[in-house]
Amino acid sequence: MLFTMHATIMIFFVIIPILAGGFGNYLIPLMIGAEDMAFPRLNMCSYWFMWPAFGCMILSFFMPGHGPGAGWTSYPPLSVLLSSAPGSGNAQTLWTLGMIFIGVASMMGSLNYMTTIIQMRAPGMHMFRMPMTVWGMFITAIMQAFALPVLTAALLMQLSDRVLLTGFFLPEAIAANNASPASGGGQPLLWQHLFWFYSHPAVYIMILPAMGMVSDMLSCFSRKPLFGYRPMVYSITAIAGLGFIVWGHHMFISGMNQILAVSFMVSTMLIALPSGIKVFNWIGTMYGGRLHLTTPMLFSIGFVSMFIIGGLSGIVMAAPPVDIMIHDTYYIVAHLHYVLFGSSILGVMGAIYFWFPKMFGRMMNDSLGKLHFLLTFVFLNGTFYPMHLLGAKGFPRRYADPYQLEGMLELLPMNQFMTYCAIGMGAAQLIFLVNFVGSMFVGPKADRNPWNSNSLEWSAPSPPGHGNFDFQPIVYRGPYEYSHPDTETDHFPQIVAEATDMKNVEVNA
Amino acid sequence: MNETGQPTHKKNSPFIFIIVFLMLCALTGLSFWIGRSHLMEDKFTGWSAMMAVSVAKAMLVVLFFMHLWWERPWKYVLTLPAIIMGALLVLLLVPDIGFRTERYSQERNSSAAESRELTLDSVNSEDVHFER
Amino acid sequence: MGLIYQPAVPVSPGKLAVWLFLSTEIMFFTALIGTYIVLRFGAPEGSWPTTSAVRIVEWIGALNTFVLICSSGTIVFAFENARRDKPAQAKIWLLLTMLLGGAFLGIKAYEYGSKFAHGIYPRVPRSLIYDRPDINYLSGLKQNLSQEIRDLEETKASPDEQQKLETLYLLQLGMVGWTEQKVGSTDDPMMKRLAIESLAQQIYPISDPQTDERINTYVANEANEVQMLFGEENAKLKETELTLKSTQSDIGQLSGIKEPNDEVKSTLAQKTKLANQLTAQITALTKKTTLLRKRKEALEIFKDVHGGINEHYHLKLPMVIPSGNTWANTYFLLTGFHALHVFGGLVAFLVLCPKRLGASRAGLVENVALYWHFVDIVWIFLFPLLYLF
């Protein structure tokens, strides 16, 4: 139950809302030169839909079974039969209901993002002059718009299987509690397909915005243009497109059609191409640059390195024979945490350090930040890296007491080591908390552009007041013109028309 | 374009809409007719014909009632991918769910629905005998 | 301050958002319709119910299609009038659209009602529809019937209910009890199947001329057989009763003898034993003949009931519709969510209604109209898929 709630809350209430909800709503208008999102009221609506969802999730903790019984993937028949596990009663129903609310909320949010980005860019802000952050958010919004309705439909069917006792996901010949011998005619695999049709793209929904933000930070602190801006955009789009046709790789041992499995393997391996392009472009951006190792930069570098590990283990698992071996072992846990924690969360942390001055008008403490990074990075690897080894030994996930299995006891010390590291990692976050709250009140005042960055949000006041901009932004170039030969300073903001105007900007700022 | 950004499309007189409306009615009648005609003898032909009629109707509504005929093709940018993605989703569901009966276990098969013809073909109903 | 923007497409943000929203709706309905398609065409071969089996009336569906197309037409004129700044006309067309939308929902409600009346719905705690005529169905039917009877017995019965109770008793013994006995007495699985199938057909016929012919033959043959058996058994009964009578008079005579010798005693004992045997035989035969008589009676009474026993007597007994549950699930899923969307459109119209629908609000009318057309398009696909396939 705790695992389920950990997964659900982390994915649907932490990463997606912070990345898409928080940063998206804040940064998109600022970065494209709009005074607000296209539909503020829709945004409000979307926000208020989050609370019933969250309420449902919390309530399900207090129902019999203390949380939903079927895991965050909610596979039938476990999730459909009403008394198959302690948490299969109201707790599961509330979970389903909460997920439906989130689906609606995210759908409204993504409509808002797409409309804002398409229609409300400042004059001169072509699609190919948008910062990677905005691109990441845009593609994310499109993915949400396409994938979420499918999950919502599937959840509604599951809810009706539970409440109206229909049988979309129930096979014949199940004779247990609410399934009479007469029910059935459905197929559990249908749920898996529909679920992963959303939940695989959800992985990219969780990482694409972070990728965008990291691209911005890397370019800014390397004082170099982003290496291959257009390939970066195309590779994001390709990841999104391919991301829709790889969902089957979560189902290799579900008894799915083998030809289908092979085609999913091929598309999964293909997705390594655009991901590889991105990694090499990030490295290319840093190569030969004048690196400023500020806290956000450290987190960005951490992101890239963790993403390489997470990505490589992903390719390993893409092949069905390998996946069948390591399915439901700690190898999978390692992979997903390297991608979600190692990459997404590190990216988010970096982004918070980076945009904090814009949000609150004060800088965060750099030394504390570096300490935070160091501890997080070390403990993160200490926690998740051994999982690869454990997984390769066959250590299963989701077991209450795996040591009852033969040969697992010798792995106990490694598990203990991981536990200490995890505690350390949690403790390290306290530093961040202190730094964040403290800096809100006592941090040194930040001016408009503390990092000497180019993109549009750094031309607005810090913090930006109502309406975001105190002037009409007009955009003359892309966001990555660092160390431009025509300028004396090493940055060349998007709003400045000519190199000779740079002096005036400095004075005004 | 006028100042509100709405396309002015002066050419669309009410007659166009009335003609489209009549065509839609006629097509509805046509698909109803197909359902009872000899085309349904071969199920596949009948289904294809009906789906073709439905696509034609949908196109009429989209092009004229939804004004796509008079507007630039920007709207395809998202609706077309959605349609392609949807088709792909359904297509990829076919092997696992569409052909699910091919891999039914004995037990599952014995409680699955079955064709009545199959049941009754194998017995002669005139051959009724009772244990005395 | 108002900022200037550089929109990528020449429409208002609202209209763009509506089109994007429609894209998400395409995905939503794709998931639903896709589910229907794979479940339906993947159902065990030949088992999907025909429209008449699930009491679908094609022309009502066609009428609903017509109503929705009309409403699509009227909302176009509402927009055209709003665009030309004729608020009064626009409002009339809008009201007309609302009326048609309401009519669609009304017809839908009528259709749902007629399904519910037959007991076709995903039901709590369990469905009345069974996929195949097997022993599960028979036991489900038996349980349902005895529950019904218990409920009726408990209430103070009006003459009408008394009548119904009689029917139920007859069903219990002459139909279900008989079938049970027959299924128990034969080893031929096909015979069992046929017996239950004919029972199911009499309760809820799935009009299918070819198979019905067979069921009818089966039932007619069975009626002859029952008639014959009843005659035989009845004769046997009469005969046994006569023997018993004579035995009993013998016993009377013998027991009348004073000071019986051993021979008389043993004869008496033999006769008494015989009498007991005969009584037992008579009990068994009476039971058999009662069952046969009830069967005969049931066959005569339920022979030509119009539309099946369920419909004729307004009963909701379990029925056999192969793949009927899957059909009901998908049918109510698709039409239900479509109806919800229609309802959403009506709410949007209701919000628009009190406003002045001049040129300044033409964009708003157009946005709602776009959504309404989409709902229409969904129905354009649902109609053949659900009613004509």
Residue-wise burial string across C159-188, b where 16 or more C-beta atoms lie within 10 A, e elsewhere:
eeeeebbebbebbbbbbbbbbbbbbeebee
Section B77-95 average pLDDT: 84
How many angstroms separate the CA atoms of C166 and C77, rounded? Answer: 60
Q: Is residue A365 part of a domain?
A: no
User: Which one of C28, C35, C40, C76 makes the best mutation probe of the B interface by having the most chain B beta carbons within 10 Å?
Assistant: C76
List pLDDT tens digits, range C84-126: 899 999 999 999 999 999 999 999 999 999 888 888 887 655 6
In this predicted structure, what is the pLDDT of residue B131? 45
How many angstroms separate the CA atoms of A307 and A73, rounded? Answer: 24
Nearest CA of chain B to the CA of C163: how many Å?
A: 32
Per-residue confidence at A373, pLDDT binned at 50, 70, 90?
A: very high
List pLDDT tens digits, range C10-62: 888 898 899 999 999 999 999 999 999 999 888 887 788 888 888 888 899 99
Q: What angle do CA C9, C12, C16 make, to 5 degrees?
A: 65
Tell me which chain C residues have a C-beta less than 8 angstroms from the C-beta of A120.
Answer: 5, 7, 13
Tell me which chain A residues have a C-beta less than 8 angstroms from the C-beta of B97.
Answer: 187, 189-190, 193
Lowest mean pLDDT among A423-427, A497-501, B12-16, C195-199: A497-501
In this predicted structure, what is the pLDDT of residue A14? 75
Question: CB of A146 within 8 Å of any CB in chain B?
Answer: yes
Q: Is residue A181 part of a domain?
A: yes
Residues 195-254 of C with CB under 8 A from A: none
Tell me which chain B residues have a C-beta less than 8 angstroms from the C-beta of A173.
Answer: 105, 107-108, 110-112
Higher-confidence residue: C157 or A459?
A459
How many angstroms separate the CA atoms of A404 and B91, rounded? Answer: 43
Section C145-162 average pLDDT: 83
CB contact under 8 A, B92 and A146: no
Residue-wise burial string across A54-63, b where 16 or more C-beta atoms lie within 10 A, e elsewhere:
bebbebbbeb
Among A33-42, B105-114, C302-311, name the most confident range: A33-42
Q: How many CB pairs under 8 A join A and C?
A: 156
Instruction: Give the residue from A379, A255, A246, A381 showing the smallest Cα distance to A327.
Output: A255
Instruction: Quote the mean pLDDT of chain C.
Output: 87
In this predicted structure, what is the pLDDT of residue C4? 84
Residues in CB range of C106: below 8 A, 6 or more apart: none
Residue pointed to by tokens 């046509």: B30
Tell me which chain C residues have a C-beta less than 8 angstroms from the C-beta of B83.
Answer: 26
Q: Is the peptide bond before A463 cis (omega within 30 degrees of 0)?
A: yes
Per-residue confidence at A354, pLDDT binned at 50, 70, 90?
A: very high
Q: Is residue A219 part of a domain?
A: no
In this predicted structure, what is the pLDDT of residue C124? 53
Nearest CA of chain B to the CA of C69: how many Å?
A: 7
Section B67-95 average pLDDT: 81
Which of B88, B108, B113 is facing A171, going by the closest CB pair?
B108
Question: CB of B113 within 8 Å of any CB in chain A?
Answer: yes
The β-bridge partners of A329 are A396
Residue pointed to by tokens 């964009």: C363
In this predicted structure, what is the pLDDT of residue A136? 93
Residues of the domain holding A466: 446-509
How many angstroms separate the CA atoms of A319 and A321, rounded? Answer: 6
The tokens for B5 are 């950004």
Tell me which chain B residues have a C-beta less than 8 angstroms from the C-beta of A146.
Answer: 81-82, 85
* A238 has a pLDDT exceeding 90: yes
Which of A122, A146, A185 is facing C325, going by the closest CB pair?
A185
In this predicted structure, what is the pLDDT of residue B122? 52
* B5 has a pLDDT exceeding 60: no
Q: Is residue A163 part of a domain?
A: yes
Q: Is the Cβ–Cβ distance between A49 and A104 less than 8 Å?
A: yes
Q: Is the Cβ–Cβ distance between A122 and C5 less than 8 Å?
A: yes
User: Which one of B71, B105, B125, B129 makes the best mutation probe of the C interface by having the most chain C beta carbons within 10 Å?
Assistant: B125
In this predicted structure, what is the pLDDT of residue C296? 84
Residues in CB range of A273: below 8 A, 6 or more apart: A235, A238
Question: CB of C140 within 8 Å of any CB in chain A?
Answer: yes
Q: Is the Cβ–Cβ distance between A279 and A257 less than 8 Å?
A: no
Q: Is C125 helix (H, G, I), strand (E, B) or coil?
A: coil
Task: Mark which of A206, A230, A249 sits at the end of a domain.
Answer: A206
Q: Is residue A476 part of a domain?
A: yes
CB contact under 8 A, B32 and C194: no
Q: Is C319 helix (H, G, I), strand (E, B) or coil?
A: strand
Section A383-412 average pLDDT: 85
In this predicted structure, what is the pLDDT of residue A214? 95
Tell me which chain C residues have a C-beta less than 8 angstroms from the C-beta of A194.
Answer: 31, 35
CB contact under 8 A, B58 and C377: yes
* C293 has a pLDDT exceeding 90: no
Give the other-Cβ count within 10 Å of C389's Cβ: 17
**Closest residue in chain C to residue A146, using alpha carbons only:** C24
Residue pointed to by tokens 């499309």: B9
Q: Is the pTM of this model over 0.80?
A: yes
Section C233-238 average pLDDT: 88
Proportion of chain C above pLDDT 90, given as a percent: 30
* B124 has a pLDDT exceeding 70: no
* A306 has a pLDDT exceeding 90: yes
One-letter amino acid at A175 equals A
Per-residue confidence at A180, pLDDT binned at 50, 70, 90?
A: low
Per-residue confidence at A300, pLDDT binned at 50, 70, 90?
A: very high
Section C358-362 average pLDDT: 88
Tell me which chain C residues have a C-beta less than 8 angstroms from the C-beta of A118.
Answer: 7-9, 16
Q: Is residue A487 part of a domain?
A: yes
Task: Mark which of A206, A229, A261 sits at the end of a domain.
Answer: A206
Nearest CA of chain C to the CA of A108: how many Å?
A: 8
In this predicted structure, what is the pLDDT of residue A233? 94
* B78 has a pLDDT exceeding 80: no
Per-residue confidence at A133, pLDDT binned at 50, 70, 90?
A: very high
**Computed from CA positions of residues A210, A211, A212, A214, in that sequence, does the dihedral angle turn out positive or negative?**
positive
Nearest CA of chain A to the CA of C233: how many Å?
A: 38
Question: CB of A185 within 8 Å of any CB in chain B?
Answer: yes
Nearest CA of chain C to the CA of B51: how many Å?
A: 8
Q: How far is CA B104 from CA A78, A171, A185, B108, B112, in A?
A: 20, 10, 11, 6, 9
List pLDDT tens digits, range A18-49: 777 788 888 999 999 888 888 888 888 888 88
Q: Specify the DSSP class assigned to residue A21.
A: I
* B115 has a pLDDT exceeding 90: no
DSSP string over A427-438: HHHHHHHHHHHH
Tell me which chain A residues have a C-beta less than 8 angstroms from the C-beta of C23.
Answer: 145-146
Nearest CA of chain B to the CA of A185: how many Å?
A: 7
CB contact under 8 A, A152 and C337: no
Looking at chain A, how many residues does it have?
Answer: 509
Q: Is the peptide bond before A77 cis (omega within 30 degrees of 0)?
A: yes
User: CB-based burial of residue A95 (10 Å sphere; 0-12 exposed, 13-18 middle, 19+ buried)?
Assistant: buried
In this predicted structure, what is the pLDDT of residue A1? 59
Nearest CA of chain C to the CA of A63: how many Å?
A: 22
How many angstroms separate the CA atoms of C285 and A294, rounded? Answer: 101
In this predicted structure, what is the pLDDT of residue A237? 92
In this predicted structure, what is the pLDDT of residue B3? 38
One-letter amino acid at C195 equals A
Neighbouring chains of C at 3+ CB pairs within 8 Å?
A: A, B
CB contact under 8 A, A173 and B82: no
Which CATH number goes with the domain that contains A108?
A: 1.20.210.10
Question: CB of C43 within 8 Å of any CB in chain A?
Answer: yes
CB contact under 8 A, B97 and A193: yes
CB contact under 8 A, C206 and B4: no
Q: Is residue A195 part of a domain?
A: yes
Which of C125, C130, C326 is facing A186, going by the closest CB pair?
C326
Q: Is the Cβ–Cβ distance between A179 and C50 less than 8 Å?
A: no
Q: Is the Cβ–Cβ distance between C47 and B113 less than 8 Å?
A: yes
How many angstroms separate the CA atoms of C15 and C37, rounded? Answer: 32
Which of A150, A244, A260 is facing B96, going by the closest CB pair?
A260
Instruction: Give the residue from A111, A163, A147, A1 showing the smallest Cα distance to A66.
Output: A1
CB contact under 8 A, B97 and A187: yes
Q: Is the peptide bond before C125 cis (omega within 30 degrees of 0)?
A: yes
* A211 has a pLDDT exceeding 50: yes
Which of C26, C185, C221 is facing B131, going by the closest CB pair?
C185
Task: Mark which of A206, A239, A261 sits at the end of a domain.
Answer: A206
Pairing assessment for the beta strands C319-320 and C129-130 based on DSSP bridges: parallel
- As a dihedral over the C-alpha atoms of residue A82, residue A85, residue A87, residue A92, rounded to 10 degrees, the angle is -40
Per-residue confidence at A429, pLDDT binned at 50, 70, 90?
A: very high
- As a dihedral over the C-alpha atoms of residue A302, residue A307, residue A313, residue A314, rounded to 10 degrees, the angle is 160
- Overall number of domains in chain A: 2
Per-residue confidence at C129, pLDDT binned at 50, 70, 90?
A: confident
CB contact under 8 A, A112 and C25: no
Residues 146-185 of A with CB under 8 A from C: 146-150, 152-154, 156-157, 160, 164-168, 172, 178, 180-185
Per-residue confidence at A137, pLDDT binned at 50, 70, 90?
A: very high
Q: Is residue A407 part of a domain?
A: no
Neighbouring chains of B at 3+ CB pairs within 8 Å?
A: A, C
In this predicted structure, what is the pLDDT of residue B8? 47
Residue pointed to by tokens 């776009």: C370
Lowest mean pLDDT among B90-104, B106-120, C124-138, C375-389: B106-120
How many angstroms separate the CA atoms of C383 and B40, rounded? Answer: 16
One-letter amino acid at C104 equals F
Nearest CA of chain B to the CA of C319: how many Å?
A: 13
